Amino acid sequence: MTRPLRLLMCPPAEFTVRYEINPWMDASRPVDTARAVAQWEALRASYVAAGHAVEIIEPLSGMPDMVYAANGATVAGGVAYAARFFVAERREEAPAYLARLTELGLTPYDAARVNEGEGDLLVAGDMLLAGTGWRTERAAHAEASRALGLPVVTLELVDARFYHLDTALTVLRGTTGEAGDVDVAYFPGAFSAASQEALQRLFPDALLATETDAATFALNALSDGERVWLGAGSPSWEARLRERGYTPVPVDVSEILRGGGSVKCCTLVLR
């Protein structure tokens, strides 16, 4: 039986695409914000129905990307390591997230180095998988290690479509931060040759995604060790998860996806 997760989410009341800061965004296409809110509510309700606790942060006015709560910080051992956004459009989010996490009883650790939270810093058992190449600088990896007390494995992202680590890699087992068996899935083509070698050494039995699956954001998923929440529209990947022993929980987040983020982007794990 899985341990209940504590999660932080931000309703997409401000969500729209009015600028383009990743390859998936198209500001020329109108966004249905009401539909995005309904999809987000369905995702939140699905977590709650599974026994997980969902905390809420209210969006700041004019901050359309706050729905992507995973980018707001990285949390482990009761410490909230703050984001320090690379993109100017999102920089006001970081202090708001840190303030809310402090209200929720976590110990704040303000960041001096550029990082975009759990988008690039993924807890995998008793280590931190840390992405770099597009949004998070390498120096942030050492800072995150000091803040969270976890050893870091640096992974270089080389494909702009997968601009955050959590778009190219899912921690399927071990996301709660407990030492022990860790299972991951990833798309090799998102990583440099050296990082592919590192992942192969660390996780020789990892589930490898195809480019087609990765391009549907199938890897931008949240797992509680048994169930895997992911965006609807990746039936072949769902079948592979079932073969692996997991229960996929597809949720339609197609409107939210238009900002370049899916299920995991909407969900910050509070450890």
Which amino acids are annotated catalytic? 164, 265
Please give the full DSSP string across 135-171, using - where no structure is assigned: SS-THHHHHHHHHHT--EEEEEB--TTS-SGGGTEEE
Question: How many of the other CB atoms lie within 10 Å of CB of 194?
Answer: 11
| CA separation for the pair 11, 59 (Å, rounded) | 7
Q: Are 220 and 263 spatial neighbours (Cβ–Cβ below 8 Å)?
A: yes
Contacts of 70 (CB under 8 A, 6+ apart): 117, 118, 119, 166, 261, 264, 265, 266, 267, 268
Q: Are 209 and 218 spatial neighbours (Cβ–Cβ below 8 Å)?
A: yes
DSSP character for 29? S
Question: How many of the other CB atoms lie within 10 Å of CB of 197?
Answer: 11
Q: Are 111 and 101 spatial neighbours (Cβ–Cβ below 8 Å)?
A: no
Q: Are 67 and 42 spatial neighbours (Cβ–Cβ below 8 Å)?
A: no
**46 alpha carbon, distance to own chain's centre:** 17
